């Protein structure tokens, strides 16, 4: 949506015209008439020029990537077109995006019935869900008598996902059995894995009879029933429980327990999903926030999107969050808790979760190393007494961040047949192409 306004910058011009007109009426003179015509003409031309700019200028904004991770490059392409006859000698473009460290504001100009293009880039330094836009364009006539303002009120959401790190294998999800394949362990329960057949014994349910095997193996005059046996269904589902209690966190910015908790949760989810485990997320902000356990690459982006906008804004202690988690927890699953809280009160919540048969592991963020009060060493020992293994994460933990997509404009090459191909960045072919002084036949895609 574009809203255009043309406003007179100063009332001096109309006042001058009124004064000159008054003098010309009551005391006619050639000099007064000449000045009246000149000032009136300048006002008329300026207004016409400003109206033409307001009607003819259009700005289009294109984002090259729909999302990014921390450390990635955001790139936008702009097309400024002037359909009017009058040139815009200067245009002040003001961008109201709230992405930290990035702004599309600039000063430029465009001729009459002309088009200009440019590209802006910035680094995504902080995770979050941001807004790109709206834009304001300010210009004027050459005499500066009229201000022209064009408001492009359209804005769109832009997600910067948290970074992923290759962290040490802190633990492995464990349930009734590890892994995602058949366990070859017999169970009396009905599961999706049929492991074989055996002879019927009194007490077996009739719905477990395998009629095909019974018909195939039955001898004449000697009918014998066979029933299906089932393998134990493995459990590799993992719940990641993140403490977002505002009173528990310490530090600021990237060096804060909040940021470390998000990076740990994102990286742990990535590693477990790559290992073909189902991963879910449970936390609390203004209410319980749940991402049910699922497998697959799409689940990772679902979790990352939640983590991108997650901040320590909850007023609910972590012990109560664990109590809220109990009805959601399933038997034979695993849970990883991530918390900086040094308060022992939340250990009662751990006991409640353990009664549901979950295998738990704790990642304790040491508040003291982030400048906060409290020590988690006592909690570490108390968790060990409950049979919960854990790790203490200090400030400066060596995260080995996975390489981000350093997005750059591609280099193009035109073949002898006229076909245009993209040359990979950093390749020998690109180096040779640049060395001979070739230029890309186009701009960014």
**Distance separating alpha carbons of residues 351 and 353, to the nearest angstrom:** 5
CA 278 to chain centre: 21
**3-class DSSP assignment, residue 94:** strand
DSSP secondary structure string, 337-399?
Answer: EEE----GGGHHHHHHHHTTT-EEEEEEE-GGGGT-S--SHHHHHHHHHTT-EEEEE-TT---
**Distance separating alpha carbons of residues 229 and 226, to the nearest angstrom:** 10
Question: Which pLDDT score, from 0 to 100, does residue 320 have?
Answer: 95
Q: Decide: 243 and 319 in contact? Cβ < 8 Å.
A: no
- Which helix (H) or strand (E) is 197 found in, with range? strand 194-199
Which residue segments constitute the domains of the chain, with CATH numbers given? 1-161 (2.60.40.10), 186-231 (no CATH), 238-393 (3.40.50.410)
Q: Decide: 81 and 112 in contact? Cβ < 8 Å.
A: no
Tens of pLDDT, residue by residue, the chain (445 residues)? 687 899 999 999 999 999 999 999 999 999 999 999 999 999 999 999 999 999 999 999 998 888 899 988 999 999 999 999 999 999 999 999 999 989 999 999 999 999 999 999 999 999 999 999 999 999 999 999 999 999 999 899 999 999 999 876 665 554 443 334 344 444 444 444 456 788 877 767 777 888 788 877 766 656 788 887 765 444 568 999 999 999 999 999 899 999 999 999 999 999 999 888 899 999 999 999 999 999 998 999 999 999 999 999 999 999 999 999 988 887 768 899 999 999 999 999 998 888 887 888 999 999 999 999 888 888 988 998 988 988 999 999 888 888 654 444 444 455 554 444 444 444 444 333 333 333 333 333 2
Question: Which pLDDT score, from 0 to 100, does residue 205 have?
Answer: 76
Q: What stretches of 290-346 show up as alpha helix (H) in DSSP?
A: 297-308, 318-325
Question: Which pLDDT score, from 0 to 100, does residue 435 have?
Answer: 35
Question: Which pLDDT score, from 0 to 100, does residue 64 have?
Answer: 82
In this prediction, what percent of the chain has a pLDDT beyond 70? Answer: 80
The Cα-based distances of 267 to 15, 169, 294, 363, 390 in angstroms read 69, 11, 16, 13, 17
DSSP classification of residue 320: H
Residues 276, 277, 282: CA angle, nearest 5 degrees: 145
Q: Decide: 347 and 337 in contact? Cβ < 8 Å.
A: no
**Distance separating alpha carbons of residues 372 and 121, to the nearest angstrom:** 37
């Amino acid at each position: 949506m574009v809203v255009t306004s043309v406003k007179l910058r100063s009332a001096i011009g109309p006042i001058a015209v009124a004064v000159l007109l008054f003098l010309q009426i009551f005391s006619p003179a050639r000099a007064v008439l000449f000045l009246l015509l000149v000032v009136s003409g300048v006002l008329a031309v300026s207004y016409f020029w400003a109206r033409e700019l307001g009607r003819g200028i259009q700005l289009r904004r294109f984002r090259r990537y729909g999302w990014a991770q921390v450390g990635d490059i955001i790139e936008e392409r702009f097309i400024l077109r002037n359909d009017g006859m009058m040139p815009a000698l200067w245009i002040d473009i003001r961008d109201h995006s709230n992405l930290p460290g990035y702004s599309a504001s600039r000063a430029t100009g465009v001729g009459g019935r002309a088009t200009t293009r440019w590209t802006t880039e910035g680094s995504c330094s902080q995770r979050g869900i941001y807004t790109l836009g709206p834009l304001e364009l300010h210009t004027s006539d050459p005499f500066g008598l009229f201000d022209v303002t064009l408001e492009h009120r359209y804005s769109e959401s832009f997600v910067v996902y948290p970074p992923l790190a290759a962290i040490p294998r802190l633990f492995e999800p464990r349930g009734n059995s590890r892994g995602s394949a058949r366990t070859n362990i017999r169970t009396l329960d009905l599961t999706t894995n049929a492991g074989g057949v055996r002879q019927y014994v009194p007490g077996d349910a009739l719905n477990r009879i395998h009629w095909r095997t019974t018909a195939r193996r039955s001898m004449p005059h000697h009918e014998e029933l066979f029933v299906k046996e089932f393998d134990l269904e493995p459990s590799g589902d993992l719940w990641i429980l993140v403490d977002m209690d505002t009173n528990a966190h310490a530090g600021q910015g990237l060096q804060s327990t909040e940021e470390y908790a998000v990076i740990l949760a994102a990286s742990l989810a990535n590693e477990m999903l790559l290992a073909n485990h189902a991963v879910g997320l449970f936390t609390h902000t203004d209410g319980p926030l749940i991402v049910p356990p699922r497998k697959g690459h799409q689940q990772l982006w679902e979790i990352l999107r939640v983590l991108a906008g997650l901040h320590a804004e909850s007023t609910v202690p972590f012990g109560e969050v664990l109590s809220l988690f109990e009805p959601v927890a399933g038997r034979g699953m695993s849970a990883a808790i991530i918390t900086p809280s040094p308060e022992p009160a939340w250990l009662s919540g751990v006991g409640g979760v353990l009664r549901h048969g979950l295998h738990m592991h704790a990642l304790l963020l040491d508040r003291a190393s982030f400048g906060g009060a409290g020590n988690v060493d006592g909690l570490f020992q108390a968790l060990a007494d409950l049979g919960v293994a854990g790790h203490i994460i200090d400030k400066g933990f060596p995260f080995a961040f996975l390489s981000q997509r350093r997005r750059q404009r591609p280099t193009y090459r035109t073949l002898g047949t006229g076909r245009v191909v993209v040359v990979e960045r950093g390749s020998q072919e690109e180096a040779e192409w640049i060395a001979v002084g070739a230029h890309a036949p186009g701009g960014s895609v």
